[in-house]
A = this chain, B = another copy of it.
């Protein structure tokens, strides 16, 4: 049994004939699952952020190819390939900046490229196998990150986390939160402080919900309370996920991560980044090369359609920030715990 089977919700599930995804836009109020029988439904779920988190998007897209190719009554390879192009394009057009999306779609296309001599029904089976494999690989990646990370946690530890690097963002138990689940299942008594994570509140909406499901002790704080919590409460470590890690170890992650790294440094608290090795981008030698995308000003100026800042307010709202490698105590990957400063990461 994989640890993700212990969770009482499934972010993404292949039912045997269709894809089920947990609609994250309805959380935490309602746990609603979407049944996706066609590629358009999967594409909408990704586009509308019903499924989110880079690994989860990749897995959903892989199954999106499967449901897009099934039950099409295609007559020959030419028709099959034409349909495949359409399906992949439909999925690729959902979230143009999600690297895992393109990576998964490329893997799915390669299955067809390498097996052109097979029957079309066999090609469909191979696509399904590949999607299941992508999902299983992700589950195992999360499991291993969880195990390596849990070794760093002691009974009684209090951990601070940011955003949602959990089961909701992956096909398994998550990266940062996977470590917390694993330690908890090992019988370690842990307590968690979760940043609400403005502007989109993934911490308040998703991380608290996830951890509550398992009975893990979690306390929600507004982001600007982190420093006070580090000073006044016993925080043993900070664990966050990563969107992308440059070759020198600089970490791009949700806005506010760098904030926590500086605070952890000042309070002499270990700062861990949990991420699969696929998040390391060695084409980038330095975090400065990572492009910082700006989010919509309305996420800061409005709440559920209600204006909270005056008209004409100028907003600076980068989607993520870059934490320099010097502030990272260690990187927790599926290959083990690595300290980039000692160059172990490249070994």
Contact = CB atoms under 8 A, between A and B. Distances in A.
Interface stretch (A48-56, A167-175, A253-261): A253-261
Interface stretch (A38-46, A136-144, A192-200): A192-200
A222 B198 contact: yes
A183 B327 CA distance: 36
A308 interface: yes
A315 interface: yes
Q: Give the interface SS of chain A, mostly helix, strand, loop or mixed.
A: mixed
Nearest to A201: B308
Contacts of A306: 304
A204 interface: yes
Given A204-B308, A301-B204, A231 B219 contact: no
Interface of A: 28-29, 193, 195-199, 201, 204-205, 208-209, 212, 217-229, 231-233, 255-256, 258-259, 262-263, 265-266, 292, 300-301, 303-304, 306-318, 321-322
Give 10 nearest A-B pairs by CB, closest first: A224-B256, A28-B310, A227-B259, A198-B222, A223-B224, A228-B321, A204-B309, A219-B314, A209-B310, A227-B258
12 contacts: A28-B311, A201-B308, A201-B309, A208-B309, A212-B313, A217-B314, A219-B314, A220-B316, A224-B224, A225-B318, A227-B258, A304-B306
